[in-house]
Amino acid sequence: MTALKNFSFLARTLWRHPRMIRVHPALNIFFLRYIANFRIKNSAGHWTIHSHLPPLNHKAYGRFVDNHLLKRIDGPSHAQVGLTNACPQACAYCYNRERRGRAMDTETILRVVRELKEMGVSWLGLTGGEPLLSPDIARIIASVAADCAVKLFTTGSSLTVEKARELKQAGLFSVSVSLDHWRADIHDRNRGLPGAFATALQAIEIFKKTGGMQVGVSAVISREMIRSGQVEEFLEFLQGLGIDEAWLCEAKPAVAATWDQDLVISEAEHRQLAGIQDRYNRRAGMTVNYLGHFEGRDFFGCNAGHKMVYVDACGEVSPCVFTPMTFGNIRQRPLKEIFAAMKSHFPSADNCFINKNFPLIRDASRGRGFLDHAASLQVMDKAEFGPLSGFFRLYLRNKKGEKG
C-alpha cells in the first residue's frame, strides 16, 4: 500500500517536474531507494517525504532538480540562517551559545537569504536564538518562500495565534518545535527554563490549529536515551501529540561542554536509531526523520560546507549549525566568495564532520569555544573526511548529469 501511494505521488511529481526524467538514471534509482524508507504524505497541501527536503509539489523541488541534479551547480542546496541570538531558554548543548558578535539587521538578513537562493539554496532553515523573536520573521519568509522551502526551528516561546497565521501566510512550509523528553521536569531542566515544556506543547497546538504547515517536533537524542531504550517511549508520546513529523538528531559535540568522546554516538547506536526510524515509518501516523540516516554513508553523507551552509545571527559563515567555526563574515566579504573558499576545504564525507573532528576543534580552541577564521583554517589542515557517501559516489561518477 505504501509503495503504491509513494508511486502515485512520484508519478504526479514527474508530471509537475518533467525534467526529472533527464536526471541520470543511477541518481533517480538512488532517490527511489532512499524514498522507500518513508511514506510520502500530503501534509497540509505539501507532498512531503520529510521536512529536510522540499515538498515534491513545491517550486523549490523543481529548482533542486534543475540546479543540483541536472546542472550540478557548485552552490549549496541547503542553508540555515540565524535570525537573532536572543533566546529565553539556555540549553546546555545549544550550538549557538559560544557564538558572539553584532547581530545582523533585517535588511542584511533579507540580502543573505536572497543571495543564498541565488546560489542554489532550495531548502532554508530559520534558527537562532529564538527566531520568533525577530519582529520581521514573516517578511523574511515571504521574501523567498515562493520557490524555496522554508522551515522554522523554534522553542515556541512568544508564539501567538496571530503570529502563527502570519507565518503561514508568508509561506512557511514546515515548523519544528524543540522537545527533548515526555517529562516536563526533564525538558525544562535541559532547556534551563521552568515552563519550557508547556510552552512547546502550546506552540504545537497553535501551529496545528492554524494549519497550512507541516508541524513537527525536533528532538536532541542523548546516548543515555538510546542506551536505556527510551527513544521508542518518547516517540509514542510524540505520536500522541498528533504531529506530522518527529525530527531526531543525536546530541553533537558542537560546544565545549560536549567535547567528550563518551557523549558522541557510536556506530551501533547510529544504526539503532536508523532502525527505529525505519520501523516507525512502516506504521501509520507521524513520519520519523532521523537526520543521521539522511546524513549517513549509505545515503547523502555529511554535507557541511559542501551542500549545506550556516550563516549565524552575526553573519559568520560556518559549514553547518553544529560546527563552531567561521570561514568569514558576510559584512567583510561576499557570501558567495566565502562559501566557495570554505567549500574548497569540504569534500562531501561519509558521515558527520563534527562527530569525527571535534578533538581537533577542541585542541585549536584553547578554551575559546568558537574558532575564529585562522583557527578554523588550521583545523582543516588536519581534518579527516573518509570516503564519499553512496549518493556522492554516483553523483561524481556521472558528472554530466545526463541520461546515458
Instruction: Specify the residue, 133 or 354, whose C-beta has the smaller distance to ligand SF4.
Output: 354
Residue 294 CB, shortest distance to ligand SF4, in Å, is 9
Alpha carbon distance 193, 74 (integer Å)? 42
Angle (nearest 5°) at CA 208 between 180 and 205: 55
Angle (nearest 5°) at CA 29 between 146 and 288: 60
Alpha carbon distance 293, 283 (integer Å)? 18
Closest CA to 166 of 187, 135, 188: 135
Task: Identify whether the C-beta of residue 349 lies closer than 8 Å to the C-beta of residue 301.
Answer: yes
Residue 66 is classified by DSSP as I
Instruction: Specify the residue, 291 or 341, whose C-beta has the smaller distance to ligand SF4.
Output: 291
Beta strands 123-127; 214-221: pairing state: unpaired
Residue 52 CB, shortest distance to ligand SF4, in Å, is 10
Length of the chain as a residue count = 404
Task: Identify whether the C-beta of residue 167 lies closer than 8 Å to the C-beta of residue 138.
Answer: yes
Residue 50 CB, shortest distance to ligand SF4, in Å, is 15
> In the structure grid, which three cell numbers stand for residue 200, read together?
512547546
Instruction: Specify the residue, 276 or 320, whose C-beta has the smaller distance to ligand SF4.
Output: 320
Instruction: Specify the residue, 190 or 303, whose C-beta has the smaller distance to ligand SF4.
Output: 303
Residue 354 CB, shortest distance to ligand SF4, in Å, is 4
Alpha carbon distance 295, 191 (integer Å)? 26
Instruction: Specify the residue, 159 or 221, whose C-beta has the smaller distance to ligand SF4.
Output: 221
Residue 224 CB, shortest distance to ligand SF4, in Å, is 20
Instruction: Specify the residue, 281 or 389, whose C-beta has the smaller distance to ligand SF4.
Output: 389
Q: Which residues form the interface with ligand SF4 (CB under 6 A)?
A: 252, 295, 302-304, 308, 320, 322-323, 352-354
Residue 403 CB, shortest distance to ligand SF4, in Å, is 30
> Which residue's C-alpha cell is 573532528?
357
